[in-house]
C-alpha cells in the first residue's frame, strides 16, 4: 500500500509530501486547487508516459517519489523477488523528468527501465478516474471485468499464449505456400544462375591477374626493348657496368696490399658484381617470356568482358559472385523440401488449433456461467447505491467470422481472438419499464460513477491490488446518493487502502483521514499545499464543502453532525466551536 508520496517541481506544485495510511483517505479542496495533479503524479509513479511539459516553469527537472509497503507473501512480494529485489524491503519508486536529458527511473535506488517499472506496478494500485469511467464504455473492458470477477485470468492468458503461437505459424505457412506456388519458375531461375556461374569457372582474383597480363601484352615491345637495353648495359656491351666494376675491384685489391683498410671495399664490389650478374640473369629469363601476341590479347579481353558482366549481374566483385552462389545453393536447398515443410507446418497448426479451440470454448463456457452471477451482484450493489430496480445484464456474443480470416483462427464459424471467441457488452436499464441497452448509450455521469463503484466493490475480494484511488467518483451525483457512495467507499476500505478525491461532504465525512489541498500565490508563483486535518480543521473543511466561502455557525453545526454520525469515535464538540 502507498505510504509516502513526494512531489517536486511538478506542473504547479513546488514541493509536496504526503503520508498515507490504510483505510479511507479523503482529499478535498477548491476547484482547481490541484487535486487531480496528485493523481497524475501517482499515475507517473506507476509507469504512465512522462513528458517534459509536466515540469514546473523555470526548472529543468521534476521529481516524483513514492514509498509502498509490501505485504509479505503477496503477489507484489513474489514479483519483487523474481525481478531480483529484496521482497522484505519497502518499495521505493523514483522518477526524474528532465527537459534536456533522458528521463530516469529508480526502483529501490537502482536505475531501471519503464518496462521493469510496469511489470512491478501492474497490480500495485488501481486508479479510477476520468479515464477509468471512459474505459468502462469500451466493450473490451467488459470482457476483462467478467474474467477478473470469474477468476478466469489464467485461462484467458492460456488462450492468449496459444493465439500468439498460432499466428506466426499461420504466417510461416502462407510464406511457404507462396514459395511453393512460384517454386517451378523460381527454381529454374536459380538453377540457370547457378549454371552460369559454375560454367564460367571463375578463380579467385582472376580479374586482377588478367588485367595485369593485358597491360603487359599491350606494352610487350616496349618491355622487351627496356629489358634488352638493360642487359646490354649491365653485362653484354663493351664497357658494360659489370666489366667496369671488375676493373675497379682489381685496382682496389692491389691497393689493399698497401693499405688493408681498402680490403672491405674490394669485397663489397665483389658482392655487387654477383648481384648485378643475378639481376642480368633474371632479366634474360623475363625477356624470354615477354609476349607480343594479338590473338592472346583478344582472348584475355573477351574473358575480362565475361567476368565484368557476371560482376555487374551478381554483386560487383568476384567475391560477391561466390557469395551469391552460396546463397543460391541455400535457397535451392530450402525449395527442394518445401512440400515437406508445408506438411510439417500444417501438422503443427492442426495441433495448435485444437489446443486454442479447446481452451477458447472452455473459457467461453465458464464466462456464460459467470455472467449471470456477476449481473445479479451488480444489480444488488447498484440497489445499495440508490439505483433501485436497475436491470443489468452481460450480453455474450460470438465474434463473427469474416471472409478474410484464416481458418485456423475460427471454430464452428466463430472467430478466435487473443481473448477468446466472445464479445461482452454490459447492458443496463436504470428505469423501470425501459429495455436493456448498452451501457455506453444510456447512463448519465452519476449512473456511470455508481456502476464503476459497484464493480470495484464486487471485485474488491478478487483484485490483488492493495490501493484503489478514486477521482471523479462523485461525478453527477449528490444528496443521499452521495452518502451511499461514501458508505460504499468506506466498506471498500475494509479490503483495500482507498484514496478518494471528492468535493462532496457526504462522501468526505466517511474518511478515516482527511487532507485539504489548497492553492495560493507566493512571490509571484502559484504554490500548492496539502494539509492533514485534525478534528477541528476537518469540521471546518466539511463546513466549507457544505456552504462555500462564508461559513456560519449553522454550517459548522451541520458539519459536526455529519462527522459525528459517520466516524466511529466521538468528536470533541467544544473544540470545534
Q: Which residue has the higher pLDDT, 124 or 555?
A: 555
List own/partner pairs for 189-192 with CB under 8 A and 24 or more apart.
190/328, 190/331, 190/332, 190/335, 191/332
Read off the pTM: 0.61
Across the chain, what does the average pLDDT equal?
Answer: 86
Predicted local confidence at residue 141, as pLDDT: 83
Q: In angstroms, rounded to a whole number, what is the distance separating the alpha carbons of residues 284 and 274?
A: 15
Q: 314 burial class (0-12, 13-18, 19+ CB within 10 angstroms)?
A: buried
Q: Is residue 436 within 8 Å of 427, Cβ to Cβ? A: yes
Please give the grid coordinates belonging to residue 60: 529543468
Most trustworthy range by pLDDT among 170-184, 281-295, 340-354: 340-354
Q: Is residue 194 within 8 Å of 332, Cβ to Cβ? A: yes
Q: What is the pLDDT of residues 438-478, one digit of tens each?
A: 987 776 667 777 888 888 888 876 665 778 888 877 777 77
Cell numbers 476520468 correspond to what residue? 130
Predicted local confidence at residue 95, as pLDDT: 95
pLDDT at 575 over 50: no
Q: How does residue 315 score in pLDDT terms, banded at 50, 70 and 90?
A: confident
Most trustworthy range by pLDDT among 52-61, 121-130, 362-371, 551-560: 362-371
96 DSSP 8-state letter:
E
Q: Is residue 314 within 8 Å of 320, Cβ to Cβ? A: yes
Give whole-number Cα distances, 430 to 134, 142, 276, 446, in Å.
19, 18, 116, 11
Q: In angstroms, rounded to a whole number, what is the distance separating the alpha carbons of residues 199 and 191?
A: 12
Q: How does residue 577 score in pLDDT terms, banded at 50, 70 and 90?
A: very low
Predicted local confidence at residue 121, as pLDDT: 85
Q: What is the pLDDT of residues 152-171, one digit of tens each?
A: 989 999 999 999 999 999 99
Q: What is the pLDDT of residues 393-408, one digit of tens each?
A: 999 999 888 867 899 9
Q: In angstroms, rounded to a whole number, what is the distance separating the alpha carbons of residues 486 and 474?
A: 9
Q: Is residue 6 within 8 Å of 66, Cβ to Cβ? A: yes
Judged by average pLDDT, the poorest of 123-132, 140-149, 367-376, 396-405 is 123-132
Q: What is the pLDDT of residues 327-384, one digit of tens each?
A: 888 888 776 677 788 899 999 999 999 999 999 999 999 999 999 999 999 999 898 8
Q: 330 burial class (0-12, 13-18, 19+ CB within 10 angstroms)?
A: exposed
Average pLDDT over residues 319-332: 88
Please give the grid coordinates belonging to residue 482: 452521495
Predicted local confidence at residue 568, as pLDDT: 42
Q: In angstroms, rounded to a whole number, what is the distance separating the alpha carbons of residues 539 and 37?
A: 25
Average pLDDT over residues 534-560: 87
Q: In angstroms, rounded to a whole number, what is the distance separating the alpha carbons of residues 189 and 185?
A: 6
How far the first Cα of the chain sits from its last, in Å, is 36
Q: What is the pLDDT of residues 192-202, one digit of tens each?
A: 999 999 998 88
Please give the grid coordinates belonging to residue 316: 560487383
DSSP three-state, residue 419:
coil
Please give the grid coordinates belonging to residue 443: 447512463
Give strand ranges (E) for 227-337.
none
Q: What are phi and psi of 55, to 5 degrees?
A: -80, 135
User: Taking the CB of residue 412, how many other CB atoms lie within 10 A of it?
Assistant: 9
Q: What are phi and psi of 153, to 5 degrees?
A: -65, -35
Q: Is residue 16 within 8 Å of 526, Cβ to Cβ? A: no
Amino acid at each position: 500500500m502507498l505510504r509516502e508520496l513526494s512531489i517536486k517541481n511538478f506542473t504547479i506544485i513546488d514541493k509536496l509530501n504526503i503520508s498515507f495510511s490504510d483505510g479511507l483517505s479523503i482529499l478535498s479542496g477548491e476547484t482547481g486547487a490541484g487535486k487531480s495533479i496528485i493523481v497524475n503524479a501517482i499515475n507517473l509513479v506507476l509507469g504512465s508516459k512522462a513528458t517534459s511539459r509536466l515540469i514546473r516553469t523555470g526548472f529543468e527537472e521534476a521529481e516524483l517519489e513514492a514509498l509502498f509497503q509490501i505485504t509479505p507473501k503477496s503477489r507484489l512480494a513474489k514479483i519483487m523477488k523474481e525481478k531480483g529485489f529484496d521482497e522484505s524491503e519497502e518499495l521505493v519508486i523514483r522518477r526524474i523528468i528532465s527537459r534536456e536529458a533522458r528521463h530516469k527511473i529508480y526502483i529501490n535506488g537502482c536505475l531501471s527501465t519503464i518496462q521493469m517499472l510496469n511489470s512491478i506496478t501492474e497490480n500495485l494500485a488501481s486508479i479510477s478516474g476520468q479515464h477509468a469511467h471512459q474505459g468502462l464504455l469500451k466493450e473490451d473492458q467488459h470482457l476483462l471485468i467478467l474474467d477478473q470477477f470469474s477468476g478466469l485470468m489464467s485461462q484467458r492468458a492460456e488462450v492468449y499464449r496459444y493465439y500468439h503461437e498460432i499466428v506466426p505459424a499461420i504466417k510461416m505457412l502462407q510464406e511457404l505456400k507462396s514459395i511453393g506456388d512460384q517454386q517451378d519458375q523460381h527454381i529454374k531461375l536459380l538453377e540457370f544462375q547457378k549454371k552460369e556461374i559454375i560454367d564460367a569457372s571463375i578463380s579467385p582474383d582472376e580479374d586482377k591477374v588478367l588485367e595485369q597480363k593485358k597491360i603487359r601484352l599491350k606494352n610487350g615491345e616496349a618491355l622487351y626493348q627496356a629489358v634488352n637495353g638493360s642487359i646490354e648495359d649491365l653485362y653484354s656491351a663493351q664497357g658494360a657496368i659489370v666489366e667496369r666494376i671488375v676493373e675497379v675491384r682489381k685496382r682496389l685489391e692491389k691497393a689493399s696490399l698497401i693499405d688493408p683498410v681498402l680490403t672491405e671495399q674490394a669485397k663489397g664490389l665483389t658482392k655487387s658484381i654477383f648481384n648485378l650478374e643475378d639481376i642480368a640473369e633474371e632479366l634474360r629469363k623475363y625477356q624470354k617470356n615477354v609476349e607480343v601476341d594479338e590473338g592472346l590479347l583478344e582472348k584475355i579481353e573477351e574473358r575480362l568482358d565475361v567476368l565484368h558482366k557476371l560482376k555487374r549481374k551478381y554483386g560487383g566483385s568476384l567475391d560477391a559472385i561466390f557469395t551469391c552462389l552460396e546463397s543460391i545453393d541455400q535457397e535451392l536447398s530450402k525449395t527442394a523440401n518445401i512440400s515437406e515443410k508445408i506438411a510439417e507446418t500444417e501438422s503443427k497448426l492442426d495441433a495448435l488449433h485444437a489446443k486454442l479451440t479447446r481452451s477458447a470454448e472452455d473459457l467461453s463456457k465458464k464466462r456464460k456461467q459467470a455472467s449471470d452471477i456477476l449481473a445479479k451482484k451488480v444489480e444488488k450493489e447498484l440497489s445499495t447505491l440508490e439505483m433501485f430496480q436497475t436491470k443489468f445484464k452481460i450480453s455474450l456474443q460470438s465474434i463473427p467470422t469474416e471472409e478474410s480470416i484464416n481458418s485456423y483462427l475460427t471454430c464452428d464459424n466463430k472467430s478466435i481472438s487473443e481473448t477468446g471467441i466472445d464479445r461482452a457488452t454490459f447492458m443496463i436499464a436504470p428505469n423501470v419499464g425501459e429495455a436493456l441497452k448498452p451501457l455506453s448509450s444510456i447512463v448519465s455521469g452519476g449512473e456511470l460513477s455508481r456502476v464503476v463503484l459497484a464493480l470495484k466493490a464486487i471485485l474488491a475480494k478478487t483484485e490483488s491490488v492493495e490501493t484503489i484511488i478514486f477521482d471523479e467518483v462523485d461525478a453527477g451525483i449528490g444528496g443521499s446518493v452521495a452518502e451511499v457512495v461514501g458508505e460504499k467507499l468506506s466498506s471498500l476500505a475494509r479490503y483495500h487502502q482507498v484514496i478518494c478525491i471528492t468535493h462532496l461532504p457526504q462522501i468526505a465525512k466517511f474518511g478515516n483521514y482527511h487532507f485539504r489541498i489548497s492553492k495560493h500565490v507566493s512571490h509571484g508563483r502559484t504554490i500548492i499545499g496539502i494539509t492533514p486535518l485534525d478534528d477541528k480543521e476537518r469540521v471546518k473543511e466539511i463546513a466549507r464543502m457544505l456552504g462555500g466561502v462564508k461559513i456560519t455557525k449553522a454550517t459548522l453545526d451541520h458539519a459536526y453532525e455529519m462527522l459525528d454520525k459517520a466516524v466511529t469515535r466521538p468528536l470533541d464538540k467544544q473544540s470545534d466551536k
